[in-house]
Each structure stands twice: as structure tokens, then as C-alpha cells.
Amino acid sequence: MANNFRIKSRRKGNALCLNLIGDFDGTSAMELIYAIEKYTGSTQSILIETDQVNDIHPFGQQVFLKNLPLSQASRKELVFTGKHRSELAP
């Protein structure tokens, strides 16, 4: 995992907000996938905020997009926001 990567989470009504902070590499991608899998189905939506991501490594992006095993219904629960949303949204 990138030394400076972390995920801060907080509840906001029926949604869970995951704030990504630092550099996003392959290990960071798997950490985010595990967090999403943990909460899918137990919340109406998961907001993934990307404004505090410094750098998205191409390998991290590929790992995330290829290993996010979600159905169409659960993909609707994911909402990407921030300046890097288009790079991470499936």
C-alpha cells in the first residue's frame, strides 16, 4: 500500500462516505474493494470521495476496475465524487 494512503469513513444519513486520501496504488485499490464489499447491501449508497487523492497509479486503477465484482444493482449504490471520479468509477 502507498505509505500515505488511507480511507476515512463516516455515515451520512443512509449513506456511507469513504474519503480516499493519498496515493492510489494496487494495494490501495484492494483496500477500497474490501471496504466496498463490506458495506454493499447494508447501506443505501456508498459515496467515494476522491478530491484528496494525490496520484492514481495506472496499476492501481486497473486493479480496482478489474477486481470490483459488483452486480448492476450494487453498482447503483456507488457514487464517485471529486476530481478523480472519472478515473475510478466503473
Per-residue pLDDT of the chain (90 residues), as tens digits, is 567 999 999 988 888 999 999 999 999 999 999 888 888 777 888 999 999 999 999 999 999 999 886 655 466 688 999 999 999 988
Domain count of the fold of the chain = 1
Residue at 70 is within a domain: yes
For residue 56, give its domain range.
Answer: 6-83
Q: What global pTM score does this model have? A: 0.87
The grid coordinates listed for 80 are 464517485
Supply the CATH number for residue 31's domain: 3.30.750.24
Q: Is the dihedral of CA 47, 14, 74, 69 positive or negative?
A: positive
pLDDT value of position 64:
93
Cα of first residue to Cα of last residue in the chain, in angstroms, is 21
Distance between CA atoms of residues 25 and 28, nearest Å: 5
The grid coordinates listed for 71 are 452486480
